[in-house]
Structure 1
Amino acid sequence: AGYVILQYVVIATAWNILGGYAGYVNFGTPAFFALGAYTAVFLVQTARPPLPVLILAGGLVSALLGLGIGYLTLRLRGVFFSIATLALSIVLQTVIINWEFVGGSRGLSVIRPSGPPFGNYVTFLFTVMVGLAVGAVLVARFIERSWIGRGLAALRDNEEAAECMGVPTLRLKLFATTVSGFLLGVAGAPFPYYVTFVEPNSAFAIDYAVNALAMPMIGGTTSWVGPVIGAVLLGSAQQLATVTISSEMNLFIVGVVLVAFVVLAPEGILGLVRRLRGR
C-alpha cells in the first residue's frame, strides 16, 4: 500500500507540472507511465541492467515522448490538447499489444533480481519509491518558486497575454511536457519489478488517468503541496477500500470525492484552508 501511495505522489506531482502549473490538462498519463514500464521490460529482456538504469531509461524515453507531444500539439489548447493526449494513450497501447517481444496482449512475467541491497525486494522498491517521490516533489517545488513557475502561471492564466508580455510560452510548454513525461516514466519504470507480471491492461489502466487528474484537484493545483495531499488522502482511501470492500470501488470513490470537491472546494484543500484563514 505504501508503495502505491508513493507512486501516486510521483504521478500526481508530474501531472500537476503540466496540468496545474501550465493549465494543459493531460488525459494521457497512462501512456507515459506505461512507456516507462515497458522501457524497463525491454531492457530486462535484453540486458538486465540495474534498477537505477531502468528508472533513468524509462524517464528519458517518456521525456522524449513528452517533448514530441509538446511539438506536435503546439497550437492545441484546452479540450483539443486533452483529446490529443488521450489519443496518444490509445495508439501507444495498440502498439504494445502487437509487440510480442514485450509480451503483447498476453503480458509478460518479470523475474526480480536476486539479492537486493537490503531487506527483501519489495522493501527495496518501497525505499526507491520514497526517493523518487521526494525527488519529484523537490523538482516541482523548485519549478514553482523559480521564474519558470511564474512563466507557467502566466501561460495558464492567459497564454495570449503572456506572449505579448514576452513570456517564452513555447519553450515553457515544451519544458512542462518534457519534465512531466520524465517523472511519469520514472514512476512507471519500477512497476514491472513490483507486480512481476506486466500486461497492457494494467500498465495502461484508466485509474492512472483519473487519479492523476483527481489527486491534484483535491489537494490544490497551484502548489506542489496539493498533489501530495491529494495522493496521500485519495490513495489511502483507495487502498483501504481495496482491502475492506473491493478494488472495483476505487473509481467510484474517486468520482464521489472529486464531485464533492468541485462543488464545495473548487480550489482544493489548500484553497479551502486559505479561505478559512481569510475569514
Structure 2
Amino acid sequence: MMKRNAIAFWGSAALFLAVVLLSTQLVRNEYWFFAGYVILQFIVLSVAWSILGGYAGYVNFGTSAFFGVGVYTAILLFKALGAPLLVQIAAAAAVGALLGFAVGLLTLRMQGIFFSIATIALTIVIETTVTNWRFLGGAAGIQIQRPPVTAPFPTYVQMLVFVQASLVVIAVAIARYIQNSWIGRGLQALRDDELAAECTGVPTLRLKMTACVISGALMCAAGAPAAMYLQYADPGSAFNLNYSVSVLAMALIGGTAHWIGPVIGAILLGVTQQLLAVTISSEVNVLVLGVMLVLFVVGAPEGIIGLFRRGRRAEAKP
C-alpha cells in the first residue's frame, strides 16, 4: 500500500511539473505567472511552517525572518559572485538549515507563547542587521538586474514559476515522508504531551531540532528566488511580518494534521488574495485573512482537513 501511494504521489508530482512547463509554452498572459508564483511560494512556506508548527506543535512567527534571509542570501551571492539561481537556492537552503539549528539551540527549550515571542524577536534582530548592511542596499533597498533567461522558457518569470513549482514538489515530498515516518509519529507524540513522550523514550529535543532545521531550510529556499521575481528587495518587504501571519493562517485553515492541509489552505487563501488584489484592493487581504482565521479557529479548529474527516465519520455512521 505504501509503495503504491508513493508511486501515485510521484506520478502526480511529475504530471504537475509537466503541466506547469507546458503552460509556460502556451500561456502568453504574464499576469497568470506573476500570480501563480506567489501562490506556489505560499504553498512552500505553509508546508514548511507545518513541519514545526503543525507536526511538533511549536507555533513559529519567524517565517518572515527565514524568508528574508533566503532573499538576502541570494542577493549576496548574485552581487558578490554572480551565482546562478540554483546555486542561490541551494545556498539559501543551507543557510536556512544552519539558522534553524541555531534557533533550535536557543529557543526550543522554550514552550508555548515564549517560543513564539522569541521567533518574532529573531525577525527584528535580522531585519535590523540587514538594514544597516550597506553592501546589500541597507534601508533604501537594492535593485536586481536579471540575467538572461534559460531555454526553454520565454521569460524569466515563467522560469521562476517552474522553479517554485519544483520547490513545492520537494517541500510536499519531505512533509509527506516526515508524516509517514517515525519522525512524524515522534513529533505527534511530543505535540500531544511532551513530558509523556520523553518518559516513553521519544528523543524530543532531537526531533524538534530536526523539524526546525528542515522547516528553516525550506523557508529560506522559497525566499531565494523572490529578489529575481521582483527585481528589487528592501528589508521592510523581505522581513514583513505579514508573511508570518499569512502562512500561519494558511496552515491552520487547511489543517495541520495532514501534509495536504497546508497545501489546500495556501491555494485557497493565495487565490483569494490575488483575486481581491485585482478586483478590490490588496489592503482588503488582511481583513479577509483575519475573518477567515477567526471563523476556522472558532468553528473548525482542525481546519478543512478536520471538516472533511468529520464529514466522512458522519457518513460512516449507520
TM-score using structure 2 length: 0.87
Confirm whether residue 210 of structure 1 aligns to residue 250 of structure 2. no
In the alignment of these two chains, the number of paired residues is 279
Partner residue in 2 for 1:177: 212
Confirm whether residue 137 of structure 1 aligns to residue 137 of structure 2. no
Partner residue in 2 for 1:109: 143
Contact 2:141-2:234 at 8 Å conserved across structures: yes
Partner residue in 2 for 1:267: 302
After TM superposition, give the deviation of residue 254 of structure 1 in Å: 0.6
Partner residue in 2 for 1:220: 255
| Distance in 2, Cα, partners of 1:267 & 1:115 | 43
After TM superposition, give the deviation of residue 190 of structure 1 in Å: 0.3
Q: Which runs of 4 or more aligned residues in structure 1 lie more than 6 Å from their structure 2 counterparts after TM superposition?
A: none
Kindly provide the CA deviation profile for residues 224-267 of structure 1, in whole angstroms up to 9, marking residues without a partner as x. Answer: 00000000000000011111111111111110111111121111
Confirm whether residue 230 of structure 1 aligns to residue 265 of structure 2. yes
Kindly provide the CA deviation profile for residues 138-165 of structure 1, in whole angstroms up to 9, marking residues without a partner as x. Answer: 1000000000000000111111000000
Kindly provide the CA deviation profile for residues 9-29 of structure 1, in whole angstroms up to 9, marking residues without a partner as x. Answer: 000000000000000000011
Q: Which structure 2 segments of 5+ residues have no match?
A: 1-34
After TM superposition, give the deviation of residue 210 of structure 1 in Å: 0.6
Q: Which structure 1 segments of 5+ residues have no match?
A: none
Partner residue in 2 for 1:246: 281
| Distance in 2, Cα, partners of 1:74 & 1:153 | 16
| Distance in 1, Cα, partners of 2:70 & 2:199 | 37
| Distance in 1, Cα, partners of 2:245 & 2:239 | 12
| Distance in 1, Cα, partners of 2:176 & 2:149 | 35
Confirm whether residue 56 of structure 1 aligns to residue 98 of structure 2. no
For 1:99, which of 123, 133, 144 is the aligned residue? Answer: 133
Measured at CA, do residues 124 and 154 of structure 1 come closer, stay the same or move farther in structure 2, by a change above 3 Å? same
TM-score using structure 1 length: 0.99
Contact 2:108-2:115 at 8 Å conserved across structures: no
| Distance in 2, Cα, partners of 1:216 & 1:231 | 7
| Distance in 2, Cα, partners of 1:75 & 1:273 | 34
| Distance in 2, Cα, partners of 1:48 & 1:226 | 38
Partner residue in 2 for 1:150: 185
After TM superposition, give the deviation of residue 116 of structure 1 in Å: 2.1
Identity of aligned residues (%): 58
Q: Match of 1:247, SS?
A: coil
Kindly provide the CA deviation profile for residues 191-224 of structure 1, in whole angstroms up to 9, marking residues without a partner as x. Answer: 1000001001110112210111100110101110
Q: Match of 1:21, SS?
A: coil
For 2:105, which of 51, 68, 71 is the aligned residue? Answer: 71
Larger radius of gyration: 2
| Distance in 1, Cα, partners of 2:73 & 2:110 | 28
User: Structure 2: which amino acid aligns with 1:198?
Assistant: A
User: Structure 2: which amino acid aligns with 1:251?
Assistant: V
User: Structure 2: which amino acid aligns with 1:234?
Assistant: L
Contact 2:78-2:84 at 8 Å conserved across structures: no
Partner residue in 1 for 2:201: 166
For 1:4, which of 38, 59, 65 is the aligned residue? Answer: 38
| Distance in 2, Cα, partners of 1:276 & 1:115 | 48
Partner residue in 1 for 2:21: none
Contact 2:56-2:191 at 8 Å conserved across structures: yes
Contact 2:62-2:244 at 8 Å conserved across structures: yes
Partner residue in 1 for 2:154: 119
Q: Larger RCO: Structure 1 or Structure 2 (Cα < 8 Å, ≥ 6 residues apart)?
A: 1
| Distance in 1, Cα, partners of 2:108 & 2:41 | 29
After TM superposition, give the deviation of residue 49 of structure 1 in Å: 1.1
Of the structure 1 ranges 38-47 and 111-120, higher mean CA displacement relative to structure 2 is found in 111-120
Partner residue in 1 for 2:20: none
User: Structure 2: which amino acid aligns with 1:250?
Assistant: N
After TM superposition, give the deviation of residue 51 of structure 1 in Å: 0.7
Kindly provide the CA deviation profile for residues 108-150 of structure 1, in whole angstroms up to 9, marking residues without a partner as x. Answer: 0011111323221010000001100111001000000000000
Q: CA RMSD in A?
A: 0.7
Q: Match of 2:57, SS?
A: coil
Of the structure 1 ranges 9-18 and 202-211, higher mean CA displacement relative to structure 2 is found in 202-211
User: Structure 2: which amino acid aligns with 1:134?
Assistant: V
